[in-house]
Amino acid sequence: MRVVSLVPSLTEAVAVTAPGLLVGATNWCSHPAGLDVVRIGGTKNPDVAAVVGLRPDLVIANEEENREPDLAALRAAGVEALVTEVRDLDQAFAELERVLVTGCSLTRPRWLDEAQQAWAQIRPTDALPAVVPVWRRPWMVLGRDTFAGDLLARLGIVNVYADHAERYPRIPLEELRASGAELVVLPDEPYAFGPDDGPEAFPGLSSALVDGRHLTWYGPSLVAAPAVLGAALRQATERL
């Protein structure tokens, strides 16, 4: 079977489960390390002709990361496209099984069971109100119905914008500072927040710098995500 992935998370999931199945992936597909496939552009601007030229049996995509016109063009060219929707952890697990088992005709991988077990062992902790920026210039934060927001909620973080009408609202910095949050969670993707780029905007708040892949990717990284994210959050809360 020949598979092209337009989603970094799904690229890693397929490549780890069945090395050699993938024939194409986006320029942003950075895991697993050393992935040797044809690069077909970005998630938002894939080279449709290049994808078709790879003669895939299946293209895997995501409704949030990929554009419908590109998917429509692939279907018009006779390419089957499996489009996922991931808004929370349970949906991520279900979609991963649909991609791997139903879409790619693979045996359910052990890492998927291990990821579910790792998250099932998480126990609720004291709720801590936080803001979670994902971009600056302008400032954008996690709002409602996001995969990353669900992961943080399971780890005891209360997103103060979880009930916002938008999923990724633009919020002025002054409003973020006055939101009542006790913590700011700063992932290193999609915007590369770091020790010198992000925390300084929130004087008086403790900052948790977290690995963006463990917060926003749904795939093998979910096995270690509870421990990795939990450690970063604990370190930040100890400074409160």
Contact 132, 183 (CB under 8 A): no
Expressed as residue numbers, the domain containing 130 is: 120-237
- Is the pLDDT assigned to residue 196 strictly greater than 70? yes
Give the pLDDT score at 127: 85
> Which has the closest alpha carbon to 14: 109, 154, 115?
109
Q: Give me the percent of the chain exceeding a pLDDT of 90.
A: 95
Give the pLDDT score at 91: 98
The verdict on residue 47 lying in a domain is: yes
Same domain, 141 and 231: yes
The verdict on residue 115 lying in a domain is: no
Same domain, 84 and 10: yes
Which of 12-16, 119-123, 159-163, 172-176 is least confident?
119-123
Same domain, 56 and 137: no
The whole-model pTM stands at 0.93
The verdict on residue 124 lying in a domain is: yes
How do beta strands 206-210 and 133-135 pair? unpaired
Q: What confidence tier does 125 reach under pLDDT thresholds 50, 70, 90? A: confident
Same domain, 162 and 182: yes
* Environment class of 197 (CB within 10 Å of its CB; exposed 0-12, middle 13-18, buried 19+): middle
The verdict on residue 113 lying in a domain is: no
Same domain, 194 and 126: yes
- Is the pLDDT assigned to residue 240 strictly greater than 70? no
Three-state SS at 207: strand
Give the pLDDT score at 74: 97
The verdict on residue 90 lying in a domain is: yes
Same domain, 95 and 162: no
From CA 57, how far away is CA 77, in angstroms rounded?
12
Same domain, 78 and 139: no
Same domain, 183 and 203: yes
Same domain, 95 and 175: no
Give the pLDDT score at 123: 84
Q: Give me the percent of the chain exceeding a pLDDT of 70.
A: 100
From CA 62, how far away is CA 85, in angstroms rounded?
6
Give the pLDDT score at 237: 86
Same domain, 140 and 93: no
Q: Is the peptide bond before 109 cis (omega within 30 degrees of 0)?
A: no
Same domain, 70 and 127: no
The verdict on residue 19 lying in a domain is: yes
Check which CATH number belongs to the domain holding 176 and give it: 3.40.50.1980
Give the pLDDT score at 219: 96
Number of domains in the chain: 2
Give the pLDDT score at 35: 94
In this prediction, residues 211-228 reach a mean pLDDT of: 97
Same domain, 12 and 99: yes
